[in-house]
Amino acid sequence: MDVLELARWQFGITTVYHFLMVPLTIGLAVLVAGMQTAWVRTGDVKYLRMTKFWGKLLLVNFAMGVVTGIVQEFQFGMAWSEYSRFVGDVFGAPLAMEGLVAFFVESTFLGLWIFGWDRLPQRVHLACAWAFSLATVASAYFILAANSWMQHPVGVELVDGKPRLTSIWAVLTNNTALAAIPHTVAGCFAVAGAFLVGVGGWHLWRTRDDQHGDDGDRPVWRASVRYGGWVGAVAFAALAITGDLQGKLMFEQQPMKMAAAEALCHTEQPAGFSVFAIGDVSRPDCEDVKSITVPALLSFLAHNDFTSEVRGIEDLVQEYRERYGANYPVDDRLGELSGQPIDYVPNLPVTYWGFRLMIGFGALSALAAVGVLWVTRRGRIPRGKWFPRLALAGIATPFLANSFGWIFTEMGRQPFVVVPNPSGVDGVWMFTARGVSGLTTGEVWTSLITLTLVYGALAVVEVFLIARYVRGGVAGVMPPEKPDGTSDDHLAFAY
Amino acid sequence: MDLADLWFCVIAVLWLGYLFLEGFDFGVGMLMPVLARDDTERRVMINTIGPVWDGNEVWLLVAGGATFAAFPGWYASLFSGTYLLLLLFLVALIGRGVAFEYRGKVDSDRWRRWWDRVIVAGSLVAAIGVGLLVATTVLGLPIDADGNRVGSPFAAVTAESLLGAAALVGFALVHGSVFIALKTDGDIRHRARAFAIRVGPWALLPLAGLLVVVQLTSGKWWTWTAVAVVLVVAALAFERLTAGREGQAFAALGVAVVATVVALFGALYPNVLPSTVDPAFSLTVADTASSPYTLEVMSWVALFGTPAVLVYQGWTYWVFRKRVSTAHIPPVHVP
């Protein structure tokens, strides 16, 4: 493999890894702040116990989210220096704002929240929880605005062959970003909701025969499951609406990505939506592919009109060759690709199946959320073994949907790292092959292997710790009652 | 002064914030095996920075992000040119961050011993990494006309940059031990103070060496005054420490950080990354700066953002101002 391929694998692995931790942090942070608010307002100790239990799991996860995020901040310059030089004038601004506006708030107020239980007045402590959790959402806003600019560059002019920022407002209100942000944040809530349902459901089932309140925490588990179920259901509704919006923008702004999502070879009018394909979708001529199709649905998804035309890959390739060239320029920095024909078609099996898996796992997680609200209605506790098994398995579905969604989004824009905006400024686009740093393969192999191993090892540790705290229940996180006569000097929390 | 020069100063201030705050964080980590006698004392040390280490580290992220926004060419050349060193530094930060959070999550000596090793090694390697990075920025890399490194992957490892690494490690040891003396009570406080007095003067020698090397390479007349300030306040810090005034010693060392950053970045200006191949290839403030509009936008963000950060981070230090001692450490309680 050459530097380009290695650097792409590395960015993919580290980002997918980072985005396993991030959605749980964002979703759970806001939900925990909500639990603490319920406690402060009602004084019901059930909510305090919920806050403590889910807060502990949040912290175990947060640590990993932070450290994997550090690498991302530097990886642009390390492995993608040509890209960084090209887009720096625009791309750096949201990144720096994210640091200054969101990361500082997050990290500082999280510290105050963890250690401030007995140092701060109750309401100030609660405000710290909100500051921290809203900052996680704010950081998502800035980084998604940066990413959306790569998908649909706006607010720039071309000076000396490079995009130059003319309006930060245009970048921060890019319609691509305004659709991507609620979609991603809703995905985060789906993760947190499924987590509450899975863990809470397992505990609820485990203590089902406990009539005497020996396990005093049953109200905690019941409230968690119901809370998680509602969050998951509402999140899915938001995901469906924002997903449709994003799809319509994508047809307009990145037609190739949408055609690749459907593996739609020929332009069709009206076009059907492929539900499931049998055969090799990567054949550009569509031979051998049998697809179960809903007629005219794709036309509707694209343009809100059941009869409209949807352009296929063959047509688009033709157009891209005319607009952006048939061959890569002859340039030493492009290595083996120098002078070679440009492949404008993304990796079709990945985009086609990634899109379907995202929707499929998303739908499964919605089904689980609605199902759990039904089976736990009016104080019921399902007695069958299927309940805890399905609830725990359900935790994985929104994680998978998130990962496949991002893999589809990012691999669907290849071979571009900055996708040309059809109604934007000419020349503001960049091939991925042109963005990579002039490193040796040895260097990138080293970092790829190191980061994969370190991340892998830490993932094992995190899952081990989370499982341990989940099993420990609320008793494992509540401070033990102090026997009389001991000093009150102890910190409420110490590492 | 135009906006590009202003942003050069902002980047310097962000590095100043990082070096000031993470200096003692690294010191605390490295000194764990030296100053603590048992697990409770190790926990005392970790908890002196418990609520703040994460916020301290964000200064590095923002310094990186701000460099990307204001000087993309600097960001791209420095970080791709020092690729493997940066990787080592990042891995150290990863391990260290996770170790703080996970160390107390399982009640087992073996578990704690492993994470303690990660904290010590992570703090040491990260301090070395920051030292190399700062020294390389000031002293230069072999870069060509396009800003790309022409030397080996380890081109940034030179005698001078290793001196920078030693300077940072040494300073972190002093800063960390004075910080612990200031933030703890009991035996550990006295041990920390004794350590700072005994080892401090030697530990600061590499820093003095680095400052002189940088001055001789690219110093200006006025940056010599900053070097002089470093030497004076460092001496003052020891005098105050022996007098038992830990707070004043810590403040004096803070002034030393400020003067060090002024000396280093003052010597660097108007370059941002000198080329050791040909001075004509050096990256300068003017060549690598973003457009005036981007810098203006960033200036507004920084104008409102930075004071807010200083206020609430200062408030955090105020909230957790009490000294920590072994009596404050609660028993381990894990599931």
The CA-CA-CA angle for residues A196, A364, A456, to 5°, reads 65
Q: Sign of torsion, CA A413 A414 A420 A422?
A: negative
Phi and psi at A164, nearest 5°, equal -125, 130
Terminal-to-terminal C-alpha distance of chain B: 59
- What is the overall mean pLDDT for chain B? 92
Residues in chain A closer than 8 A to B29 (CB atoms): none
Which chain B residue has the Cα nearest residue A64?
B98
Q: Residue B193: what pLDDT?
A: 92
Q: Would the pLDDT of A205 be above 70?
A: yes
- CB contact under 8 Å between B294 and A446, yes or no, is no
Whether ipTM exceeds 0.85: yes
What average pLDDT score do residues B311-323 get? 92
Tens of pLDDT along B72-106? Answer: 999 999 999 999 999 999 999 999 999 999 999 99
Per-residue pLDDT reduced to its tens digit, A447-456: 999 999 999 9
Give φ, ψ of A108 to 5 degrees. Answer: -70, -45
**How much is the pLDDT for A489?**
76
| CA within 13 Å, CB half, B27 | 27
Residue A338 has pLDDT above 90, yes or no: no
Could you tell me which residues come within 8 angstroms of residue A138 by beta carbon, excluding any fewer than 6 positions away?
A98, A101, A102, A105
Q: Rounded to an integer, what distance in angstroms lies between the CA atom of residue A85 and that of residue B81?
A: 14
pLDDT score at A212: 54
For A96, which of B43, B77, B298 is closest by C-beta distance?
Answer: B298
Structural domains in chain B plus CATH codes:
3-294 (1.20.1630)
Specify the pTM: 0.93
| Cis status, amide bond into A388, omega within 30 of 0 | no
Question: Exposed, middle or buried by CB within 10 Å (0-12, 13-18, 19+), for A304?
Answer: exposed
pLDDT of residue A252: 87
Q: Is any Cβ of chain B less than 8 angstroms from the Cβ of A276?
A: no
Structure tokens, A23: 């959605």
Banded model confidence at residue A486, pLDDT cuts 50, 70, 90: low
* A453 contacts in chain B (CB < 8 Å): none
Tell me if chain B has a CB within 8 Å of the CB of A73.
yes
Question: How do residues A418-444 score in pLDDT, each as one tens digit?
Answer: 999 988 888 899 999 999 998 999 999
Question: What's the whole-number average pLDDT of chain A?
Answer: 89
Question: What does the alpha-carbon distance between residue B121 and residue A480 come to, in Å, rounded to a whole number?
Answer: 34
- Using 50, 70 and 90 to split pLDDT, how confident is the model at A213? low
Query: Under an 8 A CB cutoff, do A104 and B80 touch?
Result: no
Q: Determine contact: A482 vs chain B, CB below 8 A.
A: no
- What pLDDT, on the 0 to 100 scale, is given for residue A186? 95
How far, in Å, CA of A408 to CA of A429, rounded? 20
Preferred mutation among A81, A89, A128, A463 to probe B, highest tally of B CBs within 10 A: A81
Size of interface A-B (CB pairs under 8 A): 263
Averaged pLDDT, A41-65: 92
CA atoms within 13 Å, Cβ hemisphere of B203: 20
Question: What pLDDT was estimated at residue A493?
Answer: 84
Tens digit of each residue's pLDDT (9 = 90 or more) over B116-167:
999 999 999 999 999 999 999 999 999 998 888 888 889 889 999 999 999 9
What average pLDDT does the segment A89-104 reach? 93
With contacts defined as CB-CB under 8 Å, which chain A residues touch B301? 96-97, 100-101
Contacts of A62 in chain B (CB under 8 A): 101
pLDDT at residue A214, rounded to an integer: 53
Distance from CA of A479 to the nearest CA of B (A): 7
> Region A255-274: what's the mean pLDDT?
84
Chain B residues with CB under 8 Å of A88 CB are: 68-69, 71-73, 75-76, 290
Helices (H), B36-82: 39-49, 53-70, 72-81
Position A488 pLDDT exceeds 70: no
Answer yes or no: are the C-beta atoms of B178 and B192 closer than 8 Å: yes
A23–chain B nearest CA distance, Å: 18
Query: Per residue in A37-52, pLDDT tens?
Result: 999 999 888 899 999 9
Give residue B227's Cα distance to chain centre: 18
CA distance B126 to chain A (A): 13
* pLDDT above 70 as % of chain A: 96
How many Cβ atoms from other residues are within 10 Å of residue A315's Cβ?
A: 16
- The encoded tokens of residue A243 equal 């997903």
Residue A287 has pLDDT above 80, yes or no: no
Which residues of A53-193 form beta strands (DSSP E)? 156-159, 162-165
Residue A288: the pLDDT is 64
Please give the pLDDT value at position B131.
94
